[in-house]
Chains A and B, each alone.
Chain A
């Protein structure tokens, strides 16, 4: 469903090239829960950006639902991000001028879902993540955990093939972080594929498969394709 083959990414910093990813291979199947663990600067987020088509690899290829993505233009990549991938960010990245419900609805609107249907779907999703009573709240009046739940609901709105979570608990206290991971587990139990990057080894162990990232190289440490 989501596959990375020989994925490399280098960045030009001053006069030298920094190799952020080195020939990474990864395959994510439907229903997978993959955690990538590693220290800061190891290349975890770069991998997630490449998997989510936000960034382009220097070498190698990402295949999304069997489709090679290397030759896709900016707009086609944006469309895949909208419909096939759901992003969850460390800093939530909600739109502050919109209510909780509108933050979820916006991705449905961008995907062309009719107004009545998108409102219904947003409410169902927010109830699923436990925010059924907070539909009209704006992000500023929500706690960190609640904001991340809104972000998760937004990521799920277009029924993506895979959820990509970049340090989803990084800005949360341990109890709230625990709740967010529990929610991801619950979604995964329902068949949702999840790829989560984290520097928290304890949280990573909750995934079905754990990979370690070190200096741009990815190594599987537990689990494996079923």
Chain B
């Protein structure tokens, strides 16, 4: 019966109820999306860094970033000859070390993410220095041994799934693969395509369950990349693996001493630098997230206060006929709860759409029912807390004053 009074009150003010539910839904949506993106960025960074554990990255000192460290070092440029000297060192495990050329083909889908398509030129046979064992979903994850030879055209490319989707429009053939957001078209292994006017042939697609950097890479022979990017005497960076993992600090010190013009970045420094950048981004996201929480709570407080003021007569009547305080506060809290749950029922599907639209094939992998449940739980709990003040106000309605209402 009391629930009938509550629903009756909500239905008697349809437009207001609808707007409140919509407002709460937007806050729930915002909270879920921001939390999901925060988690995605953080986890993805961890996965990227994991693949570079035990390795050193050599880049130029002029690279961007507050610490001078840039990842991936797209704007870095170092003499190829210097890199060659580093790579032949006794302490370097040559098979897992390579010079690298980076260039952006398509911008990132959101801040702090790697580009959607990123050219990664690697030495043939040393792909593992960058791919770190990432398997192929289609085709191969190895560049053919003879593909670096002059006149070998078109040059082979191995694509991350995001890059394969990005390049599908210009590929001579596409293949459809199932993805969490439904079937998506990718540039098919065996298909030809042009990158910056040069012909390439897709030979493989990398398994997407890796990280954002590998999903967006366009791996090609180093020589092809250097030719494409006009790096006649330079490369972007080098990824160096020590012969023995425990020698990494020693190798770092030796390289820094012998090549003072180059910046030697250890896996720990890379992680720390990336974390620093991530922290700043996360700080902004945290502000957005808490704004959503505060707005949702304020919305409930204001709307419930107005509802209590409007229903002075009804609340006073209930008090006069003997309704206990718990029934009065229960009604107000139940109303807030219904609004919060209806708002959540609206906000959760919207957040799924937004995440899917913004993050494409990654969406379902990063979408988490736990985050949804936590966001709904948090905002609903705060919505209820926010309704306590109006509920106390309702409890204080003087039945005598209320009975004088006409």
A residues with a Cβ closer than 8 A to B are 49, 52, 54-55, 74-75, 78-83, 85, 87, 89, 91, 93, 95-98, 102, 105-107, 109-111, 154-155, 166
Contacts and interface: CB of A to CB of B under 8 A. Distances in A.
A224 B287 CA distance: 74
Interface of B: 1-2, 4-5, 7-9, 11-12, 313-314, 317-325, 327, 399-400, 403, 405-406
B400 A49 contact: yes
What 6 A-B pairs have minimum CB-CB distances, sorted nearest first? A97-B8, A82-B322, A81-B322, A93-B317, A106-B1, A109-B1
Contacts of A75: 324-325
- Of B8, B9, B11, B406, most A-chain CB atoms within 10 Å: B8
B322 to A, nearest CB: 3
A4 B135 CA distance: 91
A83 B322 contact: yes
A95 B319 contact: no
A83 B322 CA distance: 8
Contacts of B319: 78
Given A95-B8, A96-B8, 16 more contacts: A54-B399, A54-B400, A54-B403, A78-B319, A81-B322, A82-B323, A87-B320, A87-B321, A89-B403, A98-B4, A98-B5, A98-B8, A106-B1, A106-B5, A110-B321, A110-B322
B12 A78 contact: no
- Of A81, A85, A95, A111, most B-chain CB atoms within 10 Å: A95
A97 B5 contact: yes
7 contacts: A55-B400, A89-B317, A95-B5, A97-B7, A98-B5, A110-B327, A155-B321
B188 to A, nearest CB: 62
A186 B71 CA distance: 91
A93 B403 contact: yes
Contacts of B1: 98, 102, 105-106, 109
A74 B323 CA distance: 11
Nearest to B317: A93
B321 A79 contact: no
Nearest to B8: A97
B7 to A, nearest CB: 8
Nearest to B7: A97
B320 A95 contact: no
A222 B317 CA distance: 33
Contacts of A98: 1, 4-5, 8
Contacts of A107: 321-322
B324 A79 contact: yes
Given A91-B406, A97-B4, A78 B323 contact: yes
B325 A74 contact: yes
- Of A75, A78, A82, A107, most B-chain CB atoms within 10 Å: A78
Contact of A54 (B12, B320, B323, B327): B320
Nearest to B323: A110
Given A105-B1, A106-B2, A109-B1, A97 B12 contact: yes
Given A89-B403, A102-B1, A102-B4, A110 B324 contact: yes
- Of B1, B7, B314, B320, most A-chain CB atoms within 10 Å: B1
Contacts of A97: 4-5, 7-9, 11-12
A202 to B, nearest CB: 25
A109 B406 CA distance: 26
Contacts of A81: 320-322
Contacts of B5: 95, 97-98, 106
A57 B322 CA distance: 19
B320 to A, nearest CB: 6
A89 B319 CA distance: 13
B325 A154 contact: no
Contacts of A49: 400
Contacts of B318: 95
Contacts of B325: 74-75, 78
A95 B322 contact: no
A40 B361 CA distance: 76
A205 to B, nearest CB: 26
A161 to B, nearest CB: 13
B2 A109 contact: yes
A110 to B, nearest CB: 5
A7 to B, nearest CB: 16
A162 to B, nearest CB: 14
Contact of A79 (B320, B322, B400): B322
